[in-house]
Structure 1
């Protein structure tokens, strides 16, 4: 099969060794387990052979992709759509109206991607017909099982009677495979490179004299300055509390965790990506599955409870040949876990550093998206012509199904909102406001 058109549509020059190996292995129709580092391109590695297996003469759903999180499911859907295969894909996940998905499933899509709970719900309601599904992908399958979805995944897989090929992906080695997957003639493709990040990542720890550690965190962030930083906490309430404490100290942050509404989660990640804030406080939900480029610092504000958690948190930095820093904040009664690098260095921050400058970008929420036939070019044109903005005043734009987020120079936002008041986007009046 000629994959070049799909690769060109994604602006990728060539496939890497791992991706080529998966394509080659898939041709043998064997089940495949792909082990490869975070950010190495596993999504494209399974989507290309998936497309090759689709039969244009067969109606209905032919492939199912199970993802541990809605963010990862939405990213997979986005990559598939940008490939331009001509096949319909539907994404199913909790956090928004099930009725939207039910309408999309009336005319069965060729490919379905979703989270275990929502997929199981649709199967029980008879919304998904499984007779023609023969290709199954479990992306980041170890994370799926770790999050307690094993029973639901078992149910979903058990409802698909004609699976002929399975592909499992993970960034973690040595994870056991549940018997219910019924893996046959399995090929293991292990491309994990344990030492890959160590050459690009600096590992350090700072000591806090106060068990609360917030003053030490403030000092550390002031020392770091306005560099893209993810701060990991172990619990949802701690995420919001830490973010609020930092704001009280004058440090602009966002937060992200699983109890947030879907729009709020997407908005928070979008604002972090576009520079509306440079510090993101989060649970381990952000340790995998999110496409956040150029993260320079990872801070373990709370100690990771397992080596896997530590590894996946660290995998958010030093991606795609970039360098990064990993810093642990150690309280007076805490000890470094045994799985931490034995040569990790103590970072002593001497002197006083000013609170980081407030970011220069703000974010507009635009109440129209892909389902309204609105794309990035439409939004750039609207903000340029109606909002009187120069190209350099418009930052990253992300378009979702029903709304979009656009970064604009913060000092210009109020004026832009006044200028575009009452104006229409592609002939439709939509709500445009500052993303809170």
Structure 2
């Protein structure tokens, strides 16, 4: 199937082809017919599967450029994700000659400049719910003619502390507004709230879980040695781009300083930086000026950065869902990737949880001469998920739908894996610089052995 067969305007199809995007990815193939038919929908698909274009293309195709009203609103949980969506929409509209005016409305930017921008009558506004409600209260943003409301990373937006802003926005919408909820994960609370906002909701579910092209490893070490191990991993594997996760901004700054001391090109991204500092860090990472970006979870949601070969969890997430979103920064659109978690002996118990909850195998490794190799010793093991009691094909009954079978409308797609598909990325990366590299990132390993008894990890000590 091609994009032109899905009913998109020829100019928009041509703009996609100039980006070498000829074939829709599974979530796009499943979502476009639903959204272009004017239906509200929840799109659930793994990270890096192409969800942004799945909703942007129908919106851009349906906007009336002659109108002077806001016709579509996209909400995002972080400024970085909002600006990424803004860039994709702006570039597509310009290259296709659609004449769609796009404006970002995020916190941290001057309200006066945003008010001036609203005087130009944008058709599509993208930003944070808090800033939009503020502009609505000032009487500067009117949404009565809005036809689309998109909640990107809906599970982050539909939480208790953010619902007040969401309800203020939905209260200003007309009866013809269609809702699109987008997420890599689907929980009963999110589904319940979404159904309350849009009762006639179609579900588009494709490619759940984590891309099978990603290899998952963990290395056990002392907490005080984690930065040293990180330095050795970056030196040994020499990834084109590596994204390192920590819990706190202060940790990101300290780690960045220590790595820069060892002549590693590093940038840090966290909430303590202002909007301009955060954007500068992302730009340096995208353009290749910094090969490593150390970030708090602010970067874990939705960001699409081309060429991230390695994700390192220095501070490991306590929840499997957070691990999923961090891991999704690599292996985008079917590309290969590696996720390495540096764990203390106590933290290593979380590896078993990740394996079980996310249906992945985690291999315990050690660093030998700049390469990650399977750990040796009686305690070394590869953790694999145990058979689940629920779900199709697992020998158990199907898990009941929390919303009830009578209200459920579902549009699902069974499509080939993304590894055979064309990567989709809208970031323009600098050409790779020729340099001496260490051993290539090791490929995924598989085995026939079943799940082993959890008997404790092998501890590594830095040289």
TM-score, normalising length: structure 2: 0.71
User: Could you say which residue in structure 2 is the equivalent of 1:345?
Assistant: 363
Q: Is the 8 A contact 1:256 1:280 kept in 2?
A: yes
Q: Is the 8 A contact 1:230 1:280 kept in 2?
A: yes
Aligned-pair CA distance for 1:257: 1.0
Match of 2:233 among 220, 223, 226: 220
- Judge which range, 44-53 or 90-99, deviates more: 44-53
User: Could you say which residue in structure 1 is the equivalent of 2:157?
Assistant: 144
Q: Identify if the C-alpha distance between structure 1 residues 99 and 276 changes in structure 2 by more than 3 Å, giving closer, same or farther.
A: same
User: Could you say which residue in structure 2 is the equivalent of 1:271?
Assistant: 284
Q: Is the 8 A contact 2:236 2:369 kept in 1?
A: no
Q: Identify if the C-alpha distance between structure 1 residues 229 and 27 changes in structure 2 by more than 3 Å, giving closer, same or farther.
A: closer
Q: Deviations over 1:11-38 (max 9, x none)?
A: 2223234223222112443311111222
Aligned-pair CA distance for 1:340: 2.1
User: Could you say which residue in structure 2 is the equivalent of 1:369?
Assistant: none
Match of 2:209 among 189, 194, 206: 194
Measured in 2, the distance between the counterparts of 1:103 and 1:130 equals: 17
User: Could you say which residue in structure 1 is the equivalent of 2:246?
Assistant: 233
Correspondence list, 1:44-63, <5 A = 44-55=53-64, 58-63=67-72
| Alignment pair present for 1:72 and 2:85 | no
Measured in 2, the distance between the counterparts of 1:98 and 1:173 equals: 34
Aligned-pair CA distance for 1:57: 5.8
Q: Is the 8 A contact 2:244 2:314 kept in 1?
A: yes
Q: Deviations over 1:81-119 (max 9, x none)?
A: 222321211110112211111101123211111111111
Superposed CA RMSD in Å reads 2.8
Aligned-pair CA distance for 1:147: 9.4
User: Could you say which residue in structure 2 is the equivalent of 1:87?
Assistant: 100
- Judge which range, 157-166 or 59-68, deviates more: 157-166
- Judge which range, 157-166 or 325-334, deviates more: 157-166
User: Could you say which residue in structure 2 is the equivalent of 1:97?
Assistant: 110
Q: Is the 8 A contact 2:44 2:208 kept in 1?
A: no
User: Could you say which residue in structure 2 is the equivalent of 1:158?
Assistant: 171
Aligned-pair CA distance for 1:56: 5.1
Aligned-pair CA distance for 1:181: 5.3
Aligned-pair CA distance for 1:50: 1.7
Measured in 2, the distance between the counterparts of 1:304 and 1:350 equals: 26
Q: For residue 129 of structure 1, give the secondary structure of its aligned residue in structure 2.
A: coil
Q: Identify if the C-alpha distance between structure 1 residues 61 and 91 changes in structure 2 by more than 3 Å, giving closer, same or farther.
A: same
TM-score, normalising length: structure 1: 0.75
Aligned-pair CA distance for 1:63: 1.5
User: Could you say which residue in structure 2 is the equivalent of 1:423?
Assistant: none
Structure 2 gap ranges (5+): 1-6, 372-426, 434-463
- Judge which range, 65-74 or 117-126, deviates more: 65-74
User: Could you say which residue in structure 2 is the equivalent of 1:243?
Assistant: 256
Which is bigger in relative contact order (C-alpha 8 A, separation at least 6)? Answer: 2
Q: Identify if the C-alpha distance between structure 1 residues 27 and 228 changes in structure 2 by more than 3 Å, giving closer, same or farther.
A: closer
Aligned-pair CA distance for 1:263: 1.7
User: Could you say which residue in structure 2 is the equivalent of 1:366?
Assistant: none
Measured in 1, the distance between the counterparts of 2:234 and 2:265 equals: 11
Q: Is the 8 A contact 1:19 1:41 kept in 2?
A: yes
Aligned-pair CA distance for 1:211: 3.9
Correspondence list, 1:8-407, <5 A = 8-10=14-16, 11=18, 12-55=21-64, 58-84=67-93, 85-145=98-158, 148-175=161-188, 176-177=190-191, 178=193, 182-194=197-209, 197-198=211-212, 200-337=213-350, 338-341=352-355, 343-351=361-369
User: Could you say which residue in structure 1 is the equivalent of 2:13?
Assistant: 7
Q: Deviations over 1:291-323 (max 9, x none)?
A: 211111111101112111000100011112321
Measured in 1, the distance between the counterparts of 2:207 and 2:370 equals: 41
Q: Identify if the C-alpha distance between structure 1 residues 65 and 248 changes in structure 2 by more than 3 Å, giving closer, same or farther.
A: same
Q: Deviations over 1:149-196 (max 9, x none)?
A: 22222222222243431111111133523269521211000013326x
Aligned-pair CA distance for 1:216: 2.2
Measured in 2, the distance between the counterparts of 1:352 and 1:82 equals: 41
Measured in 2, the distance between the counterparts of 1:333 and 1:167 equals: 41
Measured in 1, the distance between the counterparts of 2:31 and 2:183 equals: 13
